[in-house]
Structure 1
Amino acid sequence: MRHLCLLLLLCCSISCTYTAKITDGATAVDRKQYDVAVPMLEREYKKAKTRKAKGEIALNLGKSYVETSNDEAAIEWYQKAYDNNAGPEALREKAAALKRLERYDEAIQVYTDAGFEIGSKYEFRKDISGAELAQKWLAEEAEGKEREFTVAPAGFNSRQADYAPVPFEERLVFTSDRAAAAGEEKFNWTGRGFTDLFVTDLEGSSSVDAFDSRVNTPDHEGTPAFSADGQEMIFTRCSSPGKREDAYCGLYRSERVGEGWGPASLLSFVRPGANYMHPALSEDGQQLFFSALLEDGWGGYDIYLSNRQEDGSWSDPILMNRAINTQGNEQFPTLDADTLYFSSDGLEGMGGLDIFRTWPTNNGRYAAPKNLKMPVNSGADDFAFSVVRRQGSGLDHTTTGYFSSNRPGGEGSDDIYMYTKKVLPPPPPDPTPVVYKNILDVTVVEKIYEDPTDNSSRILGVKPVPNATIIASIGDQSRTVNTDEEGRLSLVLVDDQNYQFRAERDEYLADEGSFSSRNLPKDPEAPEQRYELELELDKIFRNQEIVLKNIYYDYNESFIRADAQPTLNNLTTILERNPTIRIEMGSHTDCRGKPGYNQELSQARAQAAVDYLVEQGVDRARLEAKGYGEESPIESCICERCTEDQHQRNRRTTFRILE
């Protein structure tokens, strides 16, 4: 499911170009065409003449096999990559694949080796603790303790991807890229078709039909949510606005028309250039939960909530709190009455996405998320939990439903599993008084560069910064403290407060972060909760060029395009946080065109970037503009033989911190 659901229904924060011609494996990987990449890379590996080339190709092969759901092959290629000097990244990815296959002892050892190699045990601490927790749960399973859940694969799985089943009337609607999906174009990420909605009976028989043809299109459709009366459907559709343009996922609404469905319209709060997916409607139809990758999130995909307005429209999304959302990915929310199920790879789990549940408590907060453990969760990605029916009462009560997983042994890349849940006898009451405590660990970290003297060298991970200064603020009150030798500051949180943090150290750029303790859980079953916040300090490399990504100009033009503004806005934030530094904005052209013209054009572009920063409030005295023309390429190719990608890398905008 890493290929199709973790990012999900595709493209996510990255572009998917469907029509570009691919001539080599590295380009195929860069453009997310992993199924296309595999045979190309295997041929290239056999022909490679240096260890460096073999290592790079093997690393791409490992990634391609992960994204096409073959972790066993990925492990082999990541080991080959490491053996050919690909570095600790190969170990990191090998360990993650081992963890997904539940080979936890091996995963822990490889994570340990990777931490030793980069000089930071901090980097892999959560990966190791999750593997150790999974080992504990596996040991409990081996003891033969009574299980709450029993699971079995559904009878309608195909050799393709099948996932996210939801009950609708007396049927089950799910998402699949099986051969019967609409459209004839192949999706080069997976080598299969685009996803559509399909329907089967609630018992999960092998009989499957395509959902309404007015909903299914040649684009990606999936993960629907239905209103209780069956008259409204909200679903995910991922499409590109034009040929060779980035595809993004949005939430669409359709109304029932007779036995079919009417035209779908995009929900009003969906912004262009962002990804929204996995809708879930409350029983009364007044709340919509969904997953999105937005700038205001806590990191990765987060769960949001929107309320229905009096006119039937939906309110602006509300980011759910840090009890649920993490710096990882939270996806696939589903509802059973007031119980919220969702999947996360940021909360402690067995590997990949694990399924958790939470519910509103008497004090209006949500309970601390509970991991559903084995056999629902596994080392792989487990997601999209749904409840279909209940029977009996008391200890004879059972619940049946479905969830999705890409665990080994299934029919396809993602499969649907049926579960039965029974009620276990409650544990004896604990007479100990409950004391609630929420603790925040703020850790100051810095990047580990492959070459410690070069900020353009490969980043291997992060490590703690000891004895850094943290300024912690609540409203108008603040205090200044130093981190310990582990780069950490731990504090007990006060309820319903917004915390602001600023981290500083000499010869580093300061960083800032925030944390809200509003509505954190007070759960008698888990009275003490720990949260984490990382503040990352960038070491100052004076007079070294830093390339700004996503700064593009129209042909022969120098004005700042709208798609360049977010990058320059981030640079504005850095300058605001570090008011004593001065920078040079540099602009470079490629080698095509006359040198004099290129010099003038690059100077105009650098000046346009400076003017934009001044418009954002940066003091002009802190800024210099310098056009380099074509005199400082980073790709040393003969101009007539440079590829378009090489020309693009030479055509760059940079900044450097001045003495």
Structure 2
Amino acid sequence: MKKATSSVLYPVFWLPLIVVLLQLSCTSLQQKAQNQFSAGEYQMAISTFSKLLEKEPENNEANLFIAESYRLSNRIEKAATYYEKVSENNATFESEYYKGKSLKGKGEYDSARVAFEAAKTLTMDDEKIALAEKEVKNIDALSEIEPIWPNHELENYELLNTSGIDYAPVLSENYLYFTSSRGAGDLYPATGQGYTRLFRARAEGINVDVQNVQTLPEFQNETGLNQGAIAISPDGNTIIYARGNAASKSVIPEVSLFASYFRGGGFTEPIFMPVNGEPEYWNSTPAFSASGDTLYFASNRPEGYGGIDLYRSTKLANGDFGNVVNMGPEINTPGNELFPRPLPNGEFYFSSDGHPGYGKLDLFVAKEENGSITVRNLGPNFNSIADDFGIFFTDYPEEGYLTSNRSGGKGDDDIYYFKDMTPAPKVVNVLLNVVTKERLENGEEQVLPQTRVVLYDDNNQTIDGNFSSQSGRLRFPLEPEKEYTMIASKTGYFTQSIPYSTVGKTPAPEDLIQDVTNITLDTTIVLEQLVLERAIVLENIYYDLDKAEIRPDAAQELDKLVKILKDNPGIRIELSSHTDARASDAYNEDLSQRRAESAVEYIVSQGIDPSRLEARGYGEQQLIIENAQTEEEHQINRRTEFKVIEITE
């Protein structure tokens, strides 16, 4: 991230020391280098001090100034060897602390931890000790970072990027706006890169018309200045962007926010925003809320939590933004927080080098959960040891853009796009073949055509239904691992509900090989004819000797009758009990009546309206086998039956 940078980006512990060193110039070459450093021309200073080191490799001042030039131009990862040289000569908290930052920026975490631990021993300042301790804790926390979206992949947008700087894309009204150093005529002396300007190109999501990139048409880019990150209001009528790093520090404050408004068919010339505050404040990386009523930005104004903090500002009645509020210690750290990105769902994305991360700036998301704010690193598929920042979702959370200067890019800062590359789930199609049949009086089954079968889900919602064909067949598409109910009905037959489950009837997801697997299942539904006054025996209804109480095994059989009554709410039945002929007529009639009434009471207890039931005890009046001799024959005579005595619908 080498744009709009300056010494105000990071805490400057060494300012008094550097002033003293500037006063100790001994050669014209060193004087030239020091003058370049004082002017913020860090790349030039690096070049000049490097010539001194060729002659004097142990020149402590030259090593220090090169290290600081890299740090202050946001290239601290290149400074480790120079800080090491400084520490060899005269180790201080600053030389070890920034050496640790540099080593961390290179991904050398163990060596960075050693440097931070050493820094803690070189100061009595509690604030400095806390800074080093936090860096150690952040390194220790790296092992706990897990990707939020493990299947998202980044791709360098090579056709859009240049060999220079390209960063901070935002999409608005089918245009991609971004900042780039392409075509720059002058070099920004702090980094040796061209001054950055604002550009746009037509885009749909992450598809950009890279052949027709143009400078921002709404207003003219300023020459000799860095145009920084841009924000566009949701209605497209306000553009806010950062501008600064002039060759002459007296022209304008170093980095400030400017606004342009759509008025009278065009955009106004950008104006300095009151939200910038004092002239010495550094303000950049703006972003609007989804409503457009809140502006988020980064600033180094005092009384914050570190080098650069994130702030929010609300729109005033006159259209300006005011009431600037720091976003608090849950977001901000002693390090730097930049590039805010609020989402309509309440998630807040930003970049930070103060929360546990892999190197320099990492991407994070803050969410309010259970009344507190939690901050998570987006994970190693988004972040690297380099700067990763400026996320923008074109289709949350599946795709979008971000910026990174990680190795392997096309230029310095490059624009990347990301997509969710989660493999499409393997599909299992379940087809249930249903055959409808009827049971004949002789117990055999035959096809029952034109039977209506309705399919319900586990919430009793109808999801399908049809009539069986002349061959008694129909088919339902089902889902794996689901519970269903089918209700089959036909005039003249008992309606029947049949539970059906696909649980355990399809391969486990990890066992699937093909993208699409078709599973065919089969079931048969058998209906009974509904004939008035025709007795139907309930099997296995047993009573203890000379007793009428319903036994548990009998209750299970009676539950089947309960189901028939619930499936067929328009019928009334007579439930009858019969005995064998081995006791007196009077005894058997009384016993059978009590047993029939007991069975009816049980059925009523299961929710059946008692008006639909009649209990009759026939005793031994209706023997099936006259003169029964064996126990098996007596058992046939001892039975419970029901018959439909009325159909009301």
Please tell me the TM-score bracket, short chain as reference. 0.5 to 0.7
Give the SS at the match of 2:111: helix
Are the aligned partners of 1:28 and 1:34 in contact in 2 as well (CA < 8 Å)?
Answer: yes
Correspondence for 1:149 among 133, 147, 152: 152
Deviation at 1:224, TM superposition (A): 1.3
Question: Who is 2:300 aligned against?
Answer: 293
Q: Which residue of 2 aligns with 1:412?
A: 411
Q: Which residue of 2 aligns with 1:133?
A: 141
Q: Is residue 200 of structure 2 the alignment partner of residue 199 of structure 1?
A: yes
Contact 1:88–1:117 (Cα < 8 Å) also in 2: yes
The corresponding residue for 1:165 is 169
The equivalent of 1:59 in structure 2 is 64
- CA change 1:55–1:242 in 2 (3 A) is closer
**Equivalent residues in 2 for 1:87-98, closer than 5 Å:** 87=92, 89-98=94-103
SS at match of 1:233: strand
User: Map of 1:52-451 to 2, 5 A cutoff?
Assistant: 54-66=59-71, 73-85=78-90, 87=92, 89-116=94-121, 124-137=132-145, 147-155=150-158, 156-178=160-182, 180-181=183-184, 184-200=185-201, 201=203, 202-204=206-208, 206-207=210-211, 208-212=213-217, 214-218=219-223, 219-238=225-244, 244=250, 247-256=253-262, 261-273=267-279, 274-337=281-344, 338-359=346-367, 367-390=373-396, 399-421=398-420
Distance 1:408 1:205, change over 3 A: farther
Report the 3-state secondary structure (helix = DSSP H, G, I; strand = E; otherwise coil) of the residue aligned with 1:368: strand
Q: How does 1:588-603 map to 2 (within 5 A)?
A: none
TM-aligned CA deviation for residue 117 of structure 1: 5.5
CA distance in 1, matches of 2:72, 2:9: 12
Q: Is the 8 A contact 1:352 1:379 kept in 2?
A: yes
CA deviations 1:384-430 (Å, max 9, x no partner) are 1111125xxxxxxx5111112222232223222212247899xxxxx
Equivalent position SS for 1:190: coil
Deviations 1:521-548 (A, max 9, x none): xxxxxxxxxxxxxxxxxxxxxxxxxxxx
**Other structure's SS at 1:317 match:** strand
* Cα distance in 1 for residues equivalent to 2:208 and 2:86: 42
Q: Distance in 2 between matches of 1:34 and 1:5?
A: 13
CA distance in 1, matches of 2:149, 2:199: 35
TM-score with structure 2 length normalisation? 0.55
CA contact under 8 A between 2:4 and 2:255: conserved in structure 1? no
Distance, in Å, in 2 between the alignment partners of 1:403 and 1:84 is 41
- Kindly indicate whether the alpha-carbon contact (under 8 Å) linking 2:8 and 2:282 is maintained by their aligned counterparts in 1: no
Return 5+ residue gaps in structure 2 as ranges.
Answer: 16-28, 425-649
Supply the distance in 1 between the matched residues of 2:106 and 2:277 (Cα, whole angstroms): 37
Alpha-carbon distance in 2 for matches of 1:71, 1:324: 23
In structure 2, the residue matched to 1:32 is 40
Contact 2:238/2:260 (<8 A) preserved: yes
Distance 1:57 1:85 in 2: 14
| Range with bigger deviation, 97-106 or 309-318 | 309-318
Residues 289/72 of structure 1: CA separation in 2 closer, same or farther (3 Å cut): closer
Q: Distance in 2 between matches of 1:308 and 1:366?
A: 26
Residues 459-492 of structure 1: per-residue CA shift (max 9 Å, x gap): xxxxxxxxxxxxxxxxxxxxxxxxxxxxxxxxxx
Percent of pairs with identical residues: 28
Q: CA deviation at 1:360?
A: 5.1
Pair 1:41-2:40 in alignment: no
- How far did 1:99 drift? 1.0
Q: Report the 3-state secondary structure (helix = DSSP H, G, I; strand = E; otherwise coil) of the residue aligned with 2:373.
A: coil
Change (3 A) 1:68 1:303: closer
How has the CA–CA distance of structure 1 residues 169 and 9 changed in structure 2, closer, same or farther, with 3 Å as cutoff? farther
How far does the alpha carbon of each residue in 1:289-327 deviate from its partner, in whole angstroms, 9 at most, with x for none? 111222243332222222222332323212222222233
- Structure 1 residues 283 and 246, CA, compared in 2 at 3 Å: closer, same or farther? closer
Paired AA for residue 286 in structure 2: P
* Paired position in structure 2 for 1:637: none
User: What is the CA-CA distance between 1:332 and the residue it aligns to?
Assistant: 1.0
With over 3 angstroms needed to count, the CA separation of the structure-2 counterparts of 1:131 and 1:360, relative to structure 1, is closer
Q: Which runs of 4+ in 1 moved over 6 A?
A: 8-14, 422-425
SS at match of 2:260: strand
Change (3 A) 1:124 1:360: closer
Q: 1:5 to 1:406 in 2, by over 3 A?
A: farther
**Greater C-alpha radius of gyration:** 2
* Cα distance change on mapping 1:146 and 1:223 into 2, 3 Å: closer
Q: 1:356 to 1:259 in 2, by over 3 A?
A: farther
CA RMSD of aligned residues (A): 3.6
**Which whole-Å CA distance do the structure 1 matches of 2:30 and 2:278 have between them?**
28
Structure 1: unaligned runs, 5 residues or longer: 15-20, 391-397, 426-659
The structural deviation recorded for 1:160 is 1.6
What SS is found at the alignment partner of 1:342?
A: strand
1: distance between equivalents of 2:76 and 2:309? 26
1:277, CA displacement in angstroms? 1.6
Q: Secondary structure at the match of 1:321?
A: coil
Is contact 1:380–1:406 with CA below 8 Å preserved after alignment?
A: yes
Q: 1:119 to 1:249 in 2, by over 3 A?
A: closer
Aligned to 1:616: none
Q: Give the deviation of 1:275 after TM superposition.
A: 2.1
Instruction: State the alpha-carbon separation in 2 of the partners of residues 112 and 241 from structure 1.
Output: 39
CA distance in 2, matches of 1:320, 1:370: 16
In 1: Cα distance, 2:313 partner to 2:368 partner? 16
Q: Is the 8 A contact 2:36 2:42 kept in 1?
A: yes
1:51-104 CA-partner distances (Å, limit 9, x unpaired): 4xx122112223334555666643333333334446554333332222112122
Quote the Cα distance in structure 2 between the aligned partners of 1:324 and 1:190: 29
Contact 2:77 2:104 in 1 (8 A): no
Contact 1:343-1:353 at 8 Å conserved across structures: yes
CA separation in 2, counterparts of 1:423 and 1:70?
A: 35
Q: How does 1:628-643 map to 2 (within 5 A)?
A: none
Contact 2:10 2:72 in 1 (8 A): no
Structure 1 residue identity aligned to 2:114: Q
SS at match of 2:258: strand
Cα displacement (A) at 1:348: 2.7
On the 8 A contact 2:312/2:324 being kept in 1, the answer is yes
TM-score when normalising by structure 1: 0.54
- Partner residue, 1:619: none
Q: 1:279 to 1:306 in 2, by over 3 A?
A: same
Q: Could you tell me which amino acid in structure 1 is paired with residue 66 of structure 2? A: L
Distance change >3 Å, CA 249–CA 122, structure 1 → 2: closer
Change (3 A) 1:229 1:300: same
Distance 1:352 1:10, change over 3 A: closer
**Structure-1 separation of matches of 2:363 and 2:423:** 19
Q: 1:267: how far off?
A: 2.3
CA shift in 2, pair 1:239/1:61, >3 Å: closer
Code of the residue aligned with 1:161 in structure 2: it is I
Q: 83-92 or 31-40: which moved more?
A: 83-92
